[in-house]
Amino acid sequence: MDKEEGVSSFECVRRVRKILGVKKVGHAGTLDPFATGLLVLLLGQGTKLSPFLMAGRKRYLATLRLGCETDTLDLTGKIVRERPVESLCLEEVRKKASAFVGDVEQVPPSYSAVKHKGVRAYKMARRGVPLELKKRKVTIHRLEIHSLDLPEMTLSVDCSCGTYVRSLAADLGEALGAGAHLRSLRRLSSGPFTLDGAVRVGDLGPDAADAALRERIIPLTDALPDLSECVVDEETARRIRDGYQPGIEDLVGGIGAVDGTVKLIKGKELVALGDVTESSVGMKKRVRILRVFH
């Protein structure tokens, strides 16, 4: 889906559940209501793919407002500090931004879903409870400054799972000596998925919505295109779905040089995701089942 501004991720899930008549619908990574862009929705057995899809790299297009900080680190919050924005040149900004590329430590926003002592941080922040959230290591793979039209700045960022672009905006604003908050955010890609072919629920007419969504449903076997595939026969597939842990000899054609997470498939069906590791006995490879799909 291409989520619209002002609509929550949960509302997108609710609408799609209603249109398709599917009871079990989830998503692979929340977008704040003010944010727009790619929201990968998961239907039925597809919800089991959530942790694997969420672990993928994300790409965003963001606009920052320099000289103004808010309690939520975005445009929805209350202004907590304002500072003059000194004259900045694009080259200077790009040099400061380069320090944020790589593995960095980041403090999640107080208004976030991160848990603090078992409670969601945003719930405590709304009650005015002071929070000291722990820093987390994230990876900024690429950070490009596209334009500087003071007091606003536009950039794109490729980052790891768990990165808060709001925190990145605040940290970059601080490095520039002016402070900042996030004015807009658009997710361009998530893992293997991009906005190409994505649809906005609000653009769908009542008579065409069901068909328009169904033609965009991605088969489970295609949802993780970067994973290697291993074929199993019908009997092995049945046994795996009954709890069986297969051996290498159960895989049609063997395992070859494959390591890590693999897809076990039968025909066009995704039977399971498994982890190929070296056995401690004889250093032979084995398959440990991670998720089973019915």
Helices 165-175 & 90-98, crossing angle to 10 degrees?
Answer: 120
Identify whether the C-beta of residue 159 lies closer than 8 Å to the C-beta of residue 100: no
- Of 82, 100, 96, nearest to 151 by C-alpha is 82
Identify whether the C-beta of residue 13 lies closer than 8 Å to the C-beta of residue 27: yes
Counting beta carbons within 10 angstroms of the beta carbon of residue 4, is it exposed (0 to 12), middle (13 to 18) or buried (19 or more)?
A: middle
Give the residue carrying structure tokens 């078992």. Answer: 118
Neighbouring C-alpha atoms within 13 Å toward the C-beta of 213: 26
Total residue length of the chain = 294
Angle at 84 between CA 82 and CA 87, to 5 degrees: 145
Identify whether the C-beta of residue 29 lies closer than 8 Å to the C-beta of residue 54: yes
Identify whether the C-beta of residue 271 lies closer than 8 Å to the C-beta of residue 264: yes
- Of 279, 275, 229, nearest to 252 by C-alpha is 229
The active-site residue, picked from 2, 32, 158, 171, is 32
**In 3-state terms, what secondary structure has residue 187?**
strand
Supply the DSSP symbol for 19: H
Catalytic residue flag (residue 32): yes
CA–CA gap between residue 5 and residue 185 (Å, rounded): 10
The catalytic residue positions are 32
